[in-house]
Amino acid sequence: MILLLTPFAQRSAPTRPARRFRRAACLAGAAAACLALGCQGILGIHDVSRDGAGGAIGGGDGGAAPGEGGGGSGGGPAQGSGGGVPQSGFSIALDPAAARVVRGGSEELAVTVTRSGDFAGDVELSLSDLPSGVTASPVVVPGGDTTGVLTLAAEPLAIVGSAAPSLRASAPGEEDQLLPVSLLVADPPGTLDQSFDGDGIASSGTSHEGRAVVVQDDGKIVVAGVDGNTWGLARFLPSGALDPEFGTGGLVVGQEGSVKSLALQPDGRIVAVGTRSGQLAVVRFNASGGLDQAFGASGVATIDRAWISGSEGFDVAVLRDGSIVAVGVGNPGNRGIAVRLSSTGDFDRGFAGSGLFSMDERPLHSVAIGGGDRIVAGGTERTDGPTFLAARLDPDGELDPGFGAGGVAYLAQTPYNDADLALGSDGKPVLVGYALDGVNDYAFARFTADGSADTTFGGSGMVNASGGGKPYVRGYGVALQADGKLLGAVAGGTVNSGITASILRLLPDGTADAGFGASGAVVLDDFPETNHLYAVTVQRDGRIVAVGKRSSLGLMVVRIWD
């Protein structure tokens, strides 16, 4: 029998690699029987572990655990290599092994049962080890049926956060089957996540201004912040506390110059870009926060002054081969520049033919890596603008003629400055920035994968919005969710009216997502506090993380339910 668990709701947390639950001890008086049949047979429990893709071990692509044989795609009964363990008349698999329930609501989990051999009886399904405030009544799948539904119900005051309850399937005379379920107890979309430092807002306790953020696969959050002429890093645990295993008490401070962006390498090393001694600089840290001595000169690689008289780094990305691409602005000429470094921090002098890609009067402020390792950069077109610009380069640094006009695309609407770029899985670049129309309202732009204005977004490829009644509101950061929704970090106002920061969410067509926060926005507006948000990203489980500064806290990290 195969058991499939599928949430009815559209939202679900990503599949979490399962833990293996084993009954490891046999009673001393039953030692002989244990040797003959194995402890699992004596105790009547069969435990199925899962791979990260959602298949039962013993089933095709999932592979088999040590001591277990394969069993065909989808996971048949796991076969003990010892040969004497009695097998149940059913086996179980979850697809996916994840569920999400919102406080004050419920979530239905559909369970599909497939029986095998001579077994045709009832199967009882139950969940154990549920978090406080979450309940689920057992259900029975009658012998003639193949589907049952478990209903998770969360009280309004249930504990939010991640949990790992167990699903048990049992039948008279058969071995019980156990599977772990990845459960996320959440609040409604656009709500501050109270499982993060108690109120959804954490601080490093320093006066730094958070400028960039990345989230590791383990849920730890790395933030880069600027404080005057120095900068540093902070790493937060998923709980919102500073990570004591990073730097000194979670902090790495006192770096020379400024920082604008971060990227993560697959091995956990952290790459930062900014400016040092008047030139674009790339700095790499190991996973514990120390400078990576195997990179550049003691962890720092600075652009060659023979290429350009002065430069500033704005964004960085890591390619699949471990090489690093950084973009920024060079002088003279307010030029957009891009460079590529090897995994050891050496500048690739064959990139773009000379080692430096350059475009006059087209400063570049953001970069992402697309299909085929093509480099997509966002910037501002100043020769006929200013307006939003996107450029696409091949991995060797040459403009891609299949994008826009000779590799460069820009919108007709003026005047706008860009600040950040995100690249969709469909190859469409999305930019955020602000208008230079005397009010400085924020704006978003989207291009098609070939560099045309995407008219399915706002009708013209651009969405321009006011700052909620406050002047000088600018867009600083942008991110894309897996469902194509767009997130923006914006901030602005005046000292007299209050400096307000917001996280906005737009639907793929550019309209505000009314189901997120208040009419599509989460607003931090608590005058006389001043709030700024400069960068936003999305965790693997969908939760939203933004960074900036609050006047009473210093460096600020905000986590929001998606």
- Whether pLDDT at 344 is above 50: yes
For residue 22, pLDDT beyond 60: no
Spell out the SS3 assignment of 110-159: EEEECCCCCCCCCEEEEEECCCCCEECCCEEECCCCCEEEEEEEECCCCC
Residue 331's region, left for phi above 0, alpha for psi from -120 to 50, else beta, is: beta
- 59: which DSSP letter? S
Peptide bond connecting 386 to the previous residue in cis, omega within 30 degrees of 0 = yes
Residue 254 has pLDDT above 80, yes or no: yes
Task: Determine the pLDDT at residue 433.
Answer: 93
Read off φ and ψ for residue 153, nearest 5 degrees: -125, 130
Q: Rounded distance, CA 364 to CA 377, Å?
A: 7
In terms of C-beta density within 10 A (0-12 exposed, 13-18 middle, 19 or more buried), how is residue 338 classed?
Answer: buried
What is the residue whose two structure tokens read 């894309």?
480
CA 116 to chain centre: 40
- Of 375, 480, 507, give the one whose Cα is nearest residue 425: 480
Q: What is the pLDDT of residue 470?
A: 65
Q: Does residue 469 have a pLDDT over 80?
A: no
Radius of gyration of the chain from its Cα atoms, rounded to whole angstroms: 27
Report yes or no: 93 and 179 within 8 Å, Cβ to Cβ: yes
Q: Are strands 182-186 and 98-102 parallel, antiparallel or unpaired?
A: parallel
- Whether residue 16 lies inside any domain: the answer is yes
| Rounded Cα–Cα distance for residues 153 and 109 (Å) | 11
Q: What is the pLDDT of residues 28-73, one digit of tens each?
A: 333 333 334 444 443 344 444 333 333 333 333 333 333 333 333 3
Residue 492 forms part of a structural domain: no
The band of 486, judged by pLDDT with boundaries at 50, 70 and 90, is: very high
Rounded CA gap, 389 and 373, in Å? 20
Q: Which of 76-90, 293-307, 323-337 has the lowest mean pLDDT?
A: 76-90
Q: Give dist(CA 389, CA 480) in Å, integer.
A: 19
The runs of H, that is alpha helices, within 216-328 are none
Token pair 């906005």 is found at 504
Question: Do 558 and 547 touch, CB atoms closer than 8 A?
Answer: yes
pLDDT in tens, 425-451: 999 999 999 888 766 688 999 999 999
Over residues 247-263, mean pLDDT: 96
Find where tokens 């329930």 sit. 101
Q: What is the mean pLDDT of residues 477-489?
A: 97
Q: Of 140, 130, 164, which Cα lies nearest the Cα of 50?
A: 164
The Cβ of residue 528 has, within 10 Å, a number of other Cβ atoms equal to: 10
Predicted local distance difference test score (pLDDT) of residue 436: 81
Mean pLDDT of the chain: 84
Alpha-carbon span 58 to 70, nearest angstrom: 4
Q: Is residue 46 part of a domain?
A: yes
Token pair recorded at residue 352: 């773009």
Strands 139-141 and 123-128, sheet pairing: antiparallel
3-state secondary structure of 37: helix
pLDDT more than 90, % of the chain: 67
Planar angle of CA 490, 495, 501, nearest 5 degrees: 20
How confident is the model over 517-556, as pLDDT tens digits?
999 999 987 767 889 999 999 999 999 999 999 999 999 9
Classify burial at 228, counting beta carbons within 10 Å of its beta carbon; exposed 0-12, middle 13-18, buried 19 or more: exposed
- Select from 204, 198, 2 the least CA-distant residue to 94: 2
Gap between the Cα atoms of 478 and 273, Å rounded: 18
pLDDT of residue 282 exceeding 60: yes
Lowest mean pLDDT among 266-275, 439-448, 475-484, 548-557: 439-448
Calpha distance 209→33 (Å, rounded): 65
Tell me: pLDDT of 330 over 60.
yes
Is 412 contained in some domain? no
Consecutive H or E run containing 34 = helix 31-37
| DSSP labels, 225-236 | EEETTEEEEEEE
| CA 543 to mean position of chain CA atoms | 8
H-run or E-run covering 300: strand 300-302
Domain count, the chain: 1
Judge whether residue 145 has pLDDT over 50. Answer: yes
Calpha distance 32→538 (Å, rounded): 54
Instruction: Tell me whether strands 258-264 and 251-256 are parallel, antiparallel or unpaired.
Output: unpaired
| Residue 466 pLDDT grade (very low, low, confident, very high; cuts 50, 70, 90) | low
274: pLDDT strictly greater than 70: yes
Q: Note whether residue 364 is domain-resident.
A: no
Residue carrying structure tokens 């005058």: 527
Q: What is the pLDDT of residue 307?
A: 81
Separation CA 20–CA 139 (nearest Å): 24
Render 28-64 in DSSP notation, one character per residue: GGGHHHHHHH-HHHHHTEEE--B-TTSPBTTSGGG--
- Tokens 């930019």 sit on residue: 431
Q: What is the pLDDT of residue 19?
A: 32
Domain membership flag for residue 266:
no
- Residue 355, CA distances (Å) to 26, 162, 397 in order: 67, 47, 9
CB atoms within 10 A of CB 198: 10
The CATH number linked to 125 is 2.60.40.2410
**Both tokens of residue 99?**
């569920």
Provide the residue type at 465 as one letter: A
Which range marks the domain in which residue 17 is found?
3-186
The pLDDT of residue 291 is above 50: yes
Tell me the β-bridge partners of 301. 282
Instruction: Please tell me the predicted confidence (pLDDT) of residue 334.
Output: 86
**Higher per-residue pLDDT: 93 or 232:** 232
Reported as a pLDDT band with limits 50, 70 and 90, residue 362 is: very high
Residue 529 lies in a domain: no
Contacts of 469 (CB under 8 A, 6+ apart): none
Mean pLDDT of 306-327: 93
Query: Is 394 a member of any domain?
Result: no
Cross-sheet strand order for the sheet of 474-480: 474-480, 486-494, 498-506, 521-524
Residues 208-243 have pLDDT tens digits of 999 999 999 999 999 999 999 999 999 999 999 999
Is the pLDDT reported for residue 82 higher than 70?
Answer: no
Q: Which residues contact 409 (CB under 8 A, 6 or more apart)?
A: 389, 390, 391, 403, 447, 451, 452
Res. 391: pLDDT tops 90:
yes
> DSSP label at 30?
G
Let me know: does 196 contact 239? Beta carbons within 8 Å: yes
